[in-house]
Structure 1
């Protein structure tokens, strides 16, 4: 089964590719036309080999096979296929791959009829936000943009066993073929063409057509982890299910009075389900829980990425600590709206932040977080607001937010079960 995706706007690199796809090559195409790299984007580089390609996993080299036009000097391009090129720390962990023209290339040992898409599962992989923001969402955009309705094979560097096992069902939805691992495979593989790198617009695709992308991804998650099953409520009307995301102790942004906050939600009418996802939590379990819920609330953090598992129309409440308004909006607020969720935000007041115990009320850290950050999200700034800060919710304020969330969740439950 081919992945049925809607076409999206093409980057400049693709304007020279014929509408029939990467294999539609004009006669006498030069090596430079067949090997093309676009390095104009802040977040990513994107290279294409628009002709028969052989990859040698041992050297992570992609060869243009038997170019139709000889060149005095072979063409050599290098790329790190991970869409975060402005940031040195993760890019230092991404292996570089090489693209090279002939005339000589390794002998083909495994022949494929499908096009290859090449990317890295390194960098910040291990954090669920980055696994989707820097991985699966850019992969979906890239397949949408370049390989419209075409079968593809995923060629992955840094495809560690835990990542493959965790996401194997989702990978199988993107491609019916086993992935080719650059570190673990020893055979040379041949493809009709290759796309190296992933198109990314950063922050969960905050772009004009992000709703299209995220709703498509939601459909793929349903195929991978829900087996296409529709929610089928049983029995009489019941209390709306509220998933309350908890954070591990000692890592920052902990809700210090979480137990009392859950009691407030129960008193209002929610059936509260506590959930603290870990790297070992089954995605089938996550999907089953959130797909059958009516609301989710949680502190700003990577675990909120699980909003992708919520049904459109359900309620999502993000608790945003001091100094995280803009990053909360970009990472989760706008994507939630794009997915059709009923998005609510609980912005904490200064008195609810534990930073008041460390900094004077007139300190810029407290008085003017935006000015203190000076529009630069540095490591030191991140450490203060994301690592050093905990929150004690004003339960009266929180109750009012939960009342509104309950009314919306009840409407959603009555309509959708």
Structure 2
């Protein structure tokens, strides 16, 4: 990642971190500020459509302006809330500058951020709380363990040393955390292994250390919806990127993972190596204690397929995450990358099979139309065990991708900036399409095209009739029962594309793909 960072910004940040009492505490403070504002919003008694809540919360997360609002009352609240948060932030920065002056008066050292300070020096800083946990975020819980930490895997317990000064009554601090970033889904979270974080002291000593690591630990779960390709990235690798870049920029962390299945390690081996140079500690199979100089428990999620640069130490963007994927698979054989038919731009059609919904019923005809327009068309139907290196080579070497909204479109992360993505959007899922793939595609520099089907192109018209509420007012149907979006619009709907309409979209995509192809460096 070093080659993607602005070196001047990197050194400025390191210099700033020197003056802070705690690098991790600074990060946690930012998270708490944002979480407070979100909590204020969620406490208001406004009944909003979930898509509007999601977009509005993203506005709050960025602490931006009130140019997007839902009614004058919410606009006024946002203006007041942002002003209060700005005032708090100014006070926080003033206190930080005061701390900086005090630190500058001390003899200088060559230490970097706290995470790079040797264990024995880090443990001698009594002003840093050993255990800092933030449970205020809607999406995730996060704990920073700022002293030597002993993992006892048979009881899923983390013992943190150095708490006596912070706890004069000598009563152990204890926190419970399920390190998976979908906290609002209780049914999912009950399947995530709960970890106990507790302070170690003379009365409650930590167990003896069997394996000692020199790098901090990042502890999370690969359970939940893992196995669905969209969730593997949305709930896994994107939060992993955000969290790892928040606590360390030099890849020097040890990944400790629960629900760590062999297929997951094998499938994502190249990508996991981009986050840590150390072997993974499989929490499900470990039986011996592991010791770390410090640890972070949990993953930071900033929203669906979202990376907020303003909340990261080095202002990383979605393009930086895309670069990590590129680094993971840069050594694949070159023949995977080249179109096989002359110099025709390649279109990957992400296919779906029957029984899962959102199947293109006239897929063969759509392929013929795309080929007539000028594309070389490759059908792509991935499964749980598909080779990611081959998928990356195919898609990264292509110039356009077409598919109905679904997990397979997550492979658009493999497209190069400047490629074209056409997302076919079935009736009733406009906000899902934008939230899951629209925004991230633009953030990644793709030419994003949205093909919203009409009533006649949906299989729902045969089941319900064109005047049924399911077709005339999907928002009302979803508002009545949130699970209708899955039952009716995702699993219960196929599409039969209008060949004349899709041809016009494909023609425009072809022209964009040809322009991109002119810059193609393969």
Query: What TM-score do the two structures reach when normalised by structure 1?
Result: 0.92
Partner of 1:87: 185
Partner of 2:372: 267
| 2:223 aligned to which of 122, 127, 134 | 122
Confirm or deny: 8 A CA contact 2:426 2:452 kept in the other structure.
yes
Confirm or deny: 8 A CA contact 1:140 1:213 kept in the other structure.
no
Partner of 2:482: 378
RMSD value, Cα: 2.8
Offset at residue 20 of structure 1 (A): 2.3
Distance verdict in 2 for CA 1:213–1:51, change over 3 Å = same
Confirm or deny: 8 A CA contact 2:123 2:148 kept in the other structure.
no
| 2:173 aligned to which of 47, 58, 75 | 75
Distance between the aligned counterparts of 1:207 and 1:216, measured in 2? Answer: 12
Distance between the aligned counterparts of 1:92 and 1:13, measured in 2? Answer: 28
Higher relative contact order (CA 8 A, sep 6+): 1
Distance verdict in 2 for CA 1:43–1:389, change over 3 Å = same
Confirm or deny: 8 A CA contact 1:3 1:150 kept in the other structure.
no
Partner of 2:453: 348
More displaced 10-residue stretch of structure 1: 223-232 or 155-164: 223-232
Offset at residue 56 of structure 1 (A): 0.8
| 2:299 aligned to which of 183, 186, 198 | 198
Offset at residue 217 of structure 1 (A): 2.0
Partner of 2:274: 173
Distance verdict in 2 for CA 1:87–1:196, change over 3 Å = same
1:331 maps onto 2:436 in alignment: yes
Map 1:10-409; keep pairs closer than 5 Å.
10-12=27-29, 20-22=113-115, 24=122, 27-29=125-127, 33-69=129-165, 71-103=169-201, 104-149=205-250, 151-205=252-306, 207=308, 212-227=316-331, 238-374=343-479, 378-409=482-513
Confirm or deny: 8 A CA contact 1:3 1:175 kept in the other structure.
no
Deviations 1:96-146 (A, max 9, x none): 001011110010111111011010000000100000000000010011112
Distance between the aligned counterparts of 2:189 and 2:141, measured in 1? Answer: 12
Distance between the aligned counterparts of 1:330 and 1:105, measured in 2? Answer: 44
Look up the SS of the partner of 1:220 in the other structure: helix
Distance between the aligned counterparts of 2:499 and 2:178, measured in 1? Answer: 48
Task: State the aligned residue count.
Answer: 414
Structure with more helix by fraction: 2
Distance verdict in 2 for CA 1:416–1:264, change over 3 Å = same
More displaced 10-residue stretch of structure 1: 124-133 or 204-213: 204-213
Distance verdict in 2 for CA 1:157–1:254, change over 3 Å = same
Confirm or deny: 8 A CA contact 1:226 1:287 kept in the other structure.
no
More displaced 10-residue stretch of structure 1: 126-135 or 225-234: 225-234
Look up the SS of the partner of 1:277 in the other structure: coil
Look up the SS of the partner of 1:398 in the other structure: helix
Look up the SS of the partner of 1:244 in the other structure: strand
Note the residue ranges of structure 2 that are not aligned, 5 or more in a row: 14-25, 33-91, 100-111
Distance between the aligned counterparts of 1:209 and 1:317, measured in 2? Answer: 29
Distance verdict in 2 for CA 1:228–1:192, change over 3 Å = farther
Distance between the aligned counterparts of 1:378 and 1:206, measured in 2? Answer: 26
Distance between the aligned counterparts of 2:125 and 2:269, measured in 1? Answer: 40
